[in-house]
Structure 1
Amino acid sequence: MAAETASKTGIEAANKPIHVDGKAELDNIVANNDVVLTDFYADWCGPCQMLEPIVETLAAEPDATVTKVDVDANQQLAQTYGVRGVPTLALFAEGEQVEKVVGVQPEEQLRSQIEQYTE
C-alpha cells in the first residue's frame, strides 16, 4: 500500500499514525509539522492496546500529525524523552515538546490538549 511506504515523507500523516524508527525521523517529523502527538508504546502493553483506537481516531483528524514509537525497538529514543512507563504520550508544538502524559487518556482530553496548540 502506497501510504505505508510514504511514512518518511509524511504523506500518511493525514489519516494514519506514522511509525517512527529513530530520533532523526522523529525530529524531522516534529520540525516539519506544527503539532505532533507521539505515542510511546509497546506491543505487550495492555493499556497501550486500549489507547490504540483513540490514537487512530486522532490520526484521522487534521489537527495534528500522530506518530508511534515502539519503545522496545527504540529504547534510546524513549530514554531521550524520559519515557519510564507505557503508554506515554508526548505532544510537540512548533518544534518543542509542550506536554507529556502517562497512561490511557480519554479521547476528549487528548483532543483538547491538541486544540490548545492548533487554534
Structure 2
Amino acid sequence: MTTDTASEASSATPDEPIHVDGQAALDDAVDAHDVVLADFYADWCGPCQMLEPIVEAIAAETDAAVAKVDVDVNQQLASAYGVRGVPTLVLFADGEQVEELVGVQPEEQLRSIVEHYTG
C-alpha cells in the first residue's frame, strides 16, 4: 500500500452513496457499516431528486454509509420495509433499524439524526 487512504478504505465508510439491488446487498451494507442510511427512491420522484444532494452530502461528510434503493427495481425490498411513499429514509445502526423518515428532510435534521448514531 502506498497511501494511507488505500489502507483505510476497507474499514472506512464510502463517501458516495452505494446503489443497492436486493435484500442481500442491503444486508451486506448494513453488516459492513455501523450506521447505514437507506434512501428508498424512484427516478421519477421530484422530492427524491431534491433529496439527492442532501444524501450525497451525508455520505461524503459523516461516518454513515448511504445505500440508495430504487423502489421500482426493488419492490419486494421496499415492501419488506413498509415503504409506501418515496422518498423514505431508513436508518440502521449496529444492524438494527432505528429510524424511518418519510419525505424530504432538511439537511440539518438528517445530519443531526445520523450523527446521533455515529457518535
Q: TM over 0.5: same fold?
A: yes
The gaps in structure 1 that reach 5 residues or longer are 1-9
> 1:105 Cα shift?
0.1
Structure 2 vs 1, CA of residues 72 and 11 (structure 1 numbering), >3 Å: closer, same or farther? Answer: farther
CA RMSD in angstroms, aligned pairs only: 1.8
* Residue of structure 1 in register with 2:107 after alignment: 107
Distance 2:12 2:44 in 1: 25
Structure 1 range deviating more: 61-70 or 97-106:
61-70
* Residue of structure 1 in register with 2:60 after alignment: 60
- Structure number, greater radius of gyration: 2
* Residue of structure 1 in register with 2:71 after alignment: 71
Distance 2:72 2:13 in 1: 23
> 1:99 Cα shift?
0.1
Amino acid at match of 1:61: E
Q: How does 1:34-45 map to 2 (within 5 A)?
A: 34-45=34-45
SS in 2 for 1:58: helix
> 1:12 Cα shift?
9.4
Q: Do 2:62 and 2:115's aligned partners in 1 also have CA atoms closer than 8 Å?
A: no
TM-score between both structures, scaled by the size of structure 2: 0.88
The gaps in structure 2 that reach 5 residues or longer are 1-9
TM-score between both structures, scaled by the size of structure 1: 0.88
